[in-house]
Every structure is written in C-alpha cells, then in structure tokens.
Amino acid sequence: MAPLVLLSCESISKTYGVKPLFKDLSLALFDGDHVGVVGPNGSGKSTLLKILAGIEEPDRGTRSMRRQLRVGYVPQDAVFPEDLTVEEVLAQTLATEELDPVEHHGRVARALSLGEFPQADQPVATLSGG
C-alpha cells in the first residue's frame, strides 16, 4: 500500500518586500515522516512552517491537506512557564481540546515520541530556544 499523503504544497512561492524566500517549492509529507527544516537565518524556514500550518498563505501555489488533519505550529520565541516540564506543557496545550482522559494521555505520549524527547520530565527552562 502506498504511503498516505497528509500535507502537500505545489509550486509555492513567498516573497517579503523584494526578498524572495522560496520560489516554485513543491513537497509532500507522508504518514510517518519526520521532517527537519535547515537553513540560515532569514531564509524562510519559519515562514514555510507557517504556510504548512495554514497560518500564512503563499504568494503563489497551493497547499493541500488531508481532511480532518490538524497542523500545529509553535514559534521559536514561544514563552512557557519555566517550572513546567515538557510533558506538562504538552498536556496543557492539549487540554484546550475536549478529549477523554485516555485519548488525552495517548496524544501527549505520541507527541513526546514524535519529538523524540529523551526526558519528558525535563523543565522547559533547561531547553534550547533555537
């Protein structure tokens, strides 16, 4: 069975002022993918992630996603209470959704495994911001 496409972009372009960040970029994210975005400051990494999350629109091109898929985005400069652990921050974030306790716990555990956090009980104050 072919992998399931969750999110795709076709020929997207984005420019800020006169600076093109990317042009005619196409990509597809499949179920089970782990993705890293690498590039120098100002190259459009955060903008691309915002487009993938539906926070910003590309200047050109299309973004498509699987029905009922939800994409989250946490900015680099997000501020969390320093005394909370990684697991507690995830649990609080998901607490805004109406989930039964078993589903809530399962989603927190899955998010921790996707992020490959070796110590979920690590205080967020000890984490790198970059």
How far, in whole angstroms, is CA 84 from its chain's centroid?
Answer: 21
Asked, for residue 61, whether it belongs to a domain, the answer is: yes
AA identity, residue 126: T
Q: Are strands 19-30 and 5-16 parallel, antiparallel or unpaired?
A: antiparallel
For 28, the domain range is 5-65
Tens-digit pLDDT profile for residues 64-82: 999 888 887 777 777 778 8
pTM above threshold 0.85: no
125, 79 Cβ separation under 8 angstroms: no
Tens-digit pLDDT profile for residues 84-129: 888 888 788 777 667 778 887 887 787 777 666 667 777 877 776 6
Asked, for residue 74, whether it belongs to a domain, the answer is: no
Please report, for the domain that includes residue 11, its CATH number.
Answer: 3.40.50.300
User: Do 52 and 93 belong together in one domain?
Assistant: no
